[in-house]
């Protein structure tokens, strides 16, 4: 996309869409989420197991406990509860793996995390550490409808032929001025203190 004084490209900023040309741009929200009956605590265990499996690392109780920063007894208790729900397969003294349903739940939670992380870092320019922490917290409370709308917005921005790159580039410039307590020289918008709302109308 041309015309941006900052040389921004939407595909670079927001990540290339993995949607095939001609397909519906984004999925429709499901009427009921797979993780509705699970606590955020249990969702984190499933997502962690999925991430360890993707890294081709042996997934034992100790590895899961270390990744989550909990004790081995606590991890054992949580994995036992997940096994009773049919979400993990964990033979006595064996390695942990996700069941088919557990993999679906973990993938859904991980998708929420990736979408939120992409928005926080590439659009709002939140630093990496904070973005990961906050995406991890929000992923458990975000509704399917809100996630669908957020994905729709990210997809729209990556596909729209208007020069949205210039708008986003200028937004990042505006953020820098605002955080420094200065007016935006282009918009002449007076700075707001952090936590102050913007009045509309």
Q: How many CA atoms lie within 13 A of 108 on its CB side?
A: 24
The three-state secondary structure class of 29 is: coil
Q: Are residues 53 and 152 in the same domain?
A: yes
Q: Are residues 79 and 153 in the same domain?
A: yes
CATH of the domain at 81: 1.10.10.10
Q: Are residues 165 and 147 in the same domain?
A: no
Q: 120: which DSSP letter?
A: I
Angle at 114 between CA 29 and CA 172, to 5 degrees: 110
DSSP labels, 51-73: HHHHTT----HHHHHHHHT--HH
Q: Are residues 63 and 109 in the same domain?
A: yes
Q: What is the pLDDT of residue 2?
A: 37
Domain coverage including residue 171: 161-201
Q: Are residues 90 and 150 in the same domain?
A: yes
Q: Which whole-number Å values give the CA distances from 71 to 35, 57, 75, in the listed order?
A: 24, 19, 6
| Short-list 153, 59, 51, 49, CA closest to 102 | 49
Radius of gyration of the chain from Cα atoms?
Answer: 21
- Helix %, strand %, coil % for the chain, to 5? 55, 0, 45
User: How many Å apart are CA 109 and CA 45, to the nearest integer?
Assistant: 11
CA quadruple 11, 13, 18, 21: dihedral sign: negative
- State if pTM tops 0.75: no
Q: Would 58 be classed as within a structural domain?
A: yes
Inter-residue contact 96 to 61 (CB < 8 Å): yes
pLDDT tens, per residue, the chain with 201 residues: 333 333 333 343 445 444 444 444 444 334 334 444 788 889 999 999 999 988 877 799 999 999 999 999 999 999 999 999 999 998 887 899 999 999 999 998 888 898 899 889 888 889 999 998 898 888 878 888 888 888 887 777 777 776 777 777 777 888 787 778 887 777 765 555 555 554 434
Q: Are residues 187 and 144 in the same domain?
A: no
Inter-residue contact 144 to 33 (CB < 8 Å): yes
Q: Would 3 be classed as within a structural domain?
A: no
Q: Are residues 56 and 138 in the same domain?
A: yes
Q: Are residues 120 and 94 in the same domain?
A: yes
User: How many Å apart are CA 39 and CA 128, to the nearest integer?
Assistant: 25
Q: What is the pLDDT of residue 174?
A: 80
Inter-residue contact 82 to 102 (CB < 8 Å): yes
Count of structural domains within the chain: 2
The three-state secondary structure class of 8 is: coil
């Amino acid at each position: 996309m041309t015309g941006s004084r900052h040389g921004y490209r939407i595909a670079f900023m927001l990540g290339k869409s993995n949607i095939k040309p001609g397909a519906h741009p984004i999925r429709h929200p499901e009427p009921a989420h797979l993780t509705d009956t699970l606590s955020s605590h249990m969702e984190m265990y499933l997502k962690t197991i999925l991430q360890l499996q993707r890294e081709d690392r042996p997934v034992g109780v100790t590895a899961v406990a270390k990744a989550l920063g909990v004790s081995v007894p606590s991890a054992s208790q949580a994995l036992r509860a997940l096994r009773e729900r049919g979400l993990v397969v964990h033979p006595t003294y064996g390695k942990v793996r996700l069941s088919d349903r557990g993999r679906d739940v973990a993938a859904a939670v991980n998708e929420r995390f990736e979408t939120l992380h992409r928005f926080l870092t590439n659009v709002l320019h939140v630093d990496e550490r904070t973005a990961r922490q906050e995406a991890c917290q929000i992923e458990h409370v975000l509704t399917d409808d809100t996630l669908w709308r957020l994905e729709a917005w990210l997809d729209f921005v990556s596909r729209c032929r208007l020069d949205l790159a210039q708008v986003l580039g200028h937004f990042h410039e505006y953020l820098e001025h605002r955080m420094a307590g200065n007016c935006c020289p282009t918009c002449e918008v007076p700075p707001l203190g952090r936590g102050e709302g913007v009045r509309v109308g």
